[in-house]
Structure 1
Amino acid sequence: MASSSRKDYEIISDPFDPRCVVACFIRLQEQTEKEKLLLERIRGKEVNTSPMYTDQEERKLINKQIRKSQGFDVDFSKFRCLFNFYPSFLDENHSTLIRETDRQFFGRLAQESLADYNYRERTSFEFVEVEKANLYRNKGYIYFITFVAKDSRDRTKVFQAKVCNVLCREIEHSFCRLKPGKKKKRRMR
């Protein structure tokens, strides 16, 4: 397994960079019945039949959310288009090549990433569970995994790991970190 301590937290949106993560439409024409069902599973049932955004506005919105959250926190309920960036259904599997559920698969990847983190940071966190995972599909996959781990005092912390899986290549653990907290706003006097 290839592992890297490189800190590539920023989402690269330059289409000429091989590490680029930009959500693109899966299909702009009429969606198939299977794609409509998938979209309904991703965002839930559409209450209002009129679109909130144009296709291009949706693409801008999803890419803004990807950049802002570095791929980890995207509100898929806002979209009526299918993109190559989507959430995992943890109790299923996204690949016919993998014989485990996504929860098991991403749990294994999170444990490996956490082991790298523990070694690098000289800590001893233990993996607890996967909270969620987002997938970016483009010449392989990039996984954005959010998971829970506990320290030696059984206090839980939320972590994020970015893992690249280029088809027919090794898996690379790009980074693992504690989930960044929201910065407190300072009061102006």
Structure 2
Amino acid sequence: MASSSRKDYEIISDPFDPRCVIATFKALFGEVTEEDKLLLERIRGKEDNTSPKYTDQEERNLINKQIRKSQGFDVDFSKFRCLFDFYPSFLDECHSTLIRETDRKFFGRLAQESIADYNIREGTSFEFVEVDKANLFRDKGYTYFITFVAKDSCNKTKVFQAKVCNVLCREIEHSFCRLKPGQKIECYEDSKRVVKKPKYNTRSNNKRAGVITNVS
């Protein structure tokens, strides 16, 4: 599927679709452990009298509403007292035992690959600067929603969003990369370039040719 396809940007909520992203409770049965409580406090912050209090089902509806509205990139985790399989990354830690680097470095590499594909497709020359944040959805592997900063040839920074699928923690598939909605490209140097845009991004072509990128 081409990265410019509108479906790449949508959150699919059909449970029979393998690309479905619906947040569900981490613990469906049994009591929440002390470890879970500590993790929840790190995600949400300490609870006080001003903290919102919803029923479990209201929280589930709310997080999925936020996921659909922001297409996975902007979720206010401070509103939730339940743990879900959709959660934020702690960038200076590692979210998987199969990855030997911090999330900041890992998502940084994925963001650099995503912006390289974007430059080829759009005829621009953005350079990756840093990862701002990332959300993770864990199912049969991971889906990453990465927000990062890149600069153009005029040294102006823009915020980008990239969706990357890590199938069974092995195969990496770049779904799309885009400017965060509401921004404009203002660099005159890039606007003067005339670049023939390929129909598909390079990583999609690699996948069609049977090339697999492994997490290391």
TM-score, length basis structure 2: 0.80
Partner of 1:5: 3
- How far residue 5 of structure 1 moved from its aligned partner, in angstroms, is 2.3
Partner of 1:68: 69
Other structure's SS at 2:9 match: coil
Other structure's SS at 1:39 match: helix
CA 1:168–1:156 in structure 2 vs 1: closer, same or farther (change >3 Å)? Answer: closer
Moved over 4 A (4+): none
- Unpaired runs of 5+ residues, structure 2, are 184-216
TM-score, length basis structure 1: 0.91
Residue 76 of structure 1 aligns to which amino acid in structure 2?
A: F
- Unpaired runs of 5+ residues, structure 1, are 183-189
CA distance in structure 1 between the partners assigned to 2:175 and 2:117 by the alignment: 10
CA distance in structure 2 between the partners assigned to 1:169 and 1:30 by the alignment: 32
Partner of 1:15: 15
Contact residue 91 and residue 103 of structure 2 kept, 8 A: yes
Partner of 1:170: 171
Partner of 1:33: 34
- Residue 144 of structure 2 corresponds to residue 136 of structure 1: no
CA distance in structure 2 between the partners assigned to 1:53 and 1:151 by the alignment: 43
Partner of 2:186: none
- Residue 41 of structure 2 corresponds to residue 43 of structure 1: no
Higher relative contact order (Cα pairs below 8 Å, separated by 6+ residues): 1
**Which has the higher mean CA deviation after the structures are superposed, 126-135 or 41-50?**
41-50
Q: Deviations over 1:22-68 (max 9, x none)?
A: 00000143211111100000000011398610000000000000000
Other structure's SS at 1:134 match: strand
Aligned residues: 180
Other structure's SS at 1:142 match: strand
